Amino acid sequence: MESAGTLDVPALFLFRCRLKNVTKAISPEALQAHDVSVVFSGLRALDHVSLYVNPGEILGLIGPNGSGKTTLINALTGQVHLAGGRVVAGTEDLTGCPPRVIARSGIARSFQIVRLFNAMTVAENVETAALAQGENRRQAKERAQGLLAEYSLSGQAGEIAGNLNYGDKRRVEIARALAARPRYLLLDEPAAGMNESESGDLLKLLAALPQKHDLGLLIIDHDMSLIMRLCHRVHVLSSGRTIASGEVEAVRNDPAVIEAYLGSSPEELS
């Protein structure tokens, strides 16, 4: 099986070139965190963090353990209270909105620890998300069938989700998030627990997502190889603060980033 290290490089290069044309400036449609701070009983998990994701681009969010990556997704999706700052999607100010309102406005996420309806079938998990967005039963069924095929899960459609292996559960979670037809998809370590072959396959699916599903993608992962190959821009957090943000090549060689990943060399961040 092809691994992340043997991705079709010319295709990826063209993909990145296309992205370069759309990511030079913040789009008026961008999903943005403005100066966001989150405090947990005195601990400043996020400290005046600002970032944006444009439609059609893939932003990587990286940083050491505990640097605030998941908290930033929680802030963007209304799952934590903001001590300061704003969350905006296009012209909509979503600051302080509950998660269901943010989800309805087209921002979907996956969780670091997979959260499926374990007693439901795989197909039901995906259909439920489409129904929640207002599709009728027939539309939801068709949507689920299409997404399960895209994620090579058609054979497991009737299986109880709780019985799937870990890699399959992760793919069901992404299919379910896509069922809601989001404008932005925020994935928290989607390749965690996958073997090299599975994460290589996932990388190809993720690379195609923005064009195929017309969305902006924010992805957290500790697999630097995956992040550096997949993302056009990268945002780096350390202890709740932004320490670098920009194009992959520049961030990879940034001394502050190398120091945050103490012991890493620029080659290891490639």
Question: Interface residues with ligand ATP (CB under 6 A)?
Answer: 40, 43, 45, 63, 65-71, 112
Among 70, 77, 156, 225, binds Mg ion (CB under 5 A): 70
The residue among 70 and 199 lying less far from Mg ion, judged by its C-beta, is: 70
The residue among 81 and 212 lying less far from ligand ATP, judged by its C-beta, is: 81
The residue among 45 and 131 lying less far from ligand ATP, judged by its C-beta, is: 45
Question: Which partner, Mg ion, ligand ATP, none, binds residue 216 by CB below 5 to 8 Å per kind?
Answer: none
Q: Can residue 54 be called a binding residue for Mg ion (CB under 5 A)?
A: no
- Shortest separation between residue 112's beta carbon and Mg ion, angstroms: 5
- Shortest separation between residue 244's beta carbon and ligand ATP, angstroms: 15
User: Segment near Mg ion (CB under 5 A), from 19-27, 105-113, 139-147, 227-235?
Assistant: 105-113
Question: Which partner, ligand ATP, Mg ion, none, binds residue 1 by CB below 5 to 8 Å per kind?
Answer: none
The residue among 67 and 156 lying less far from Mg ion, judged by its C-beta, is: 67
Single out the residue of 263, 231, 206, 255 nearest to residue 62, CA to CA.
Answer: 231
- Shortest separation between residue 119's beta carbon and Mg ion, angstroms: 26
C-alpha to C-alpha distance for 216 and 26, rounded to whole angstroms: 12
User: If DSSP states are collapsed to H, E and C, what string results for the chain?
Assistant: CCCHHHCCHHHHHHHHHHHHHHCCCCCCCCEEEEEEEEEECCEEEEEEEEEEECCCCEEEEECCCCCCHHHHHHHHCCCCCCCEEEEEECCEECCCCCHHHHHHCCEEECCCCCCCCCCCEHHHHHHHHHHHCCCCHHHHHHHHHHHHHHCCCHHHCCCEHHHCCHHHHHHHHHHHHHHCCCCEEEEECCCCCCCHHHHHHHHHHHHHHHHHHCCEEEEECCCHHHHHHHCCEEEEEECCEEEEEEEHHHHHCCHHHHHHCCCCCCCCCC
- Shortest separation between residue 193's beta carbon and ligand ATP, angstroms: 13
User: Segment near Mg ion (CB under 5 A), from 49-57, 81-89, 111-119, 238-246?
Assistant: 111-119
- Shortest separation between residue 222's beta carbon and ligand ATP, angstroms: 6
- Shortest separation between residue 217's beta carbon and Mg ion, angstroms: 17
Asked if residues 52 and 29 have their Cβ atoms less than 8 Å apart, the reply is no
Question: Which partner, ligand ATP, Mg ion, none, binds residue 63 by CB below 5 to 8 Å per kind?
Answer: ligand ATP
Name the residue with the smallest CB distance to Mg ion: 70
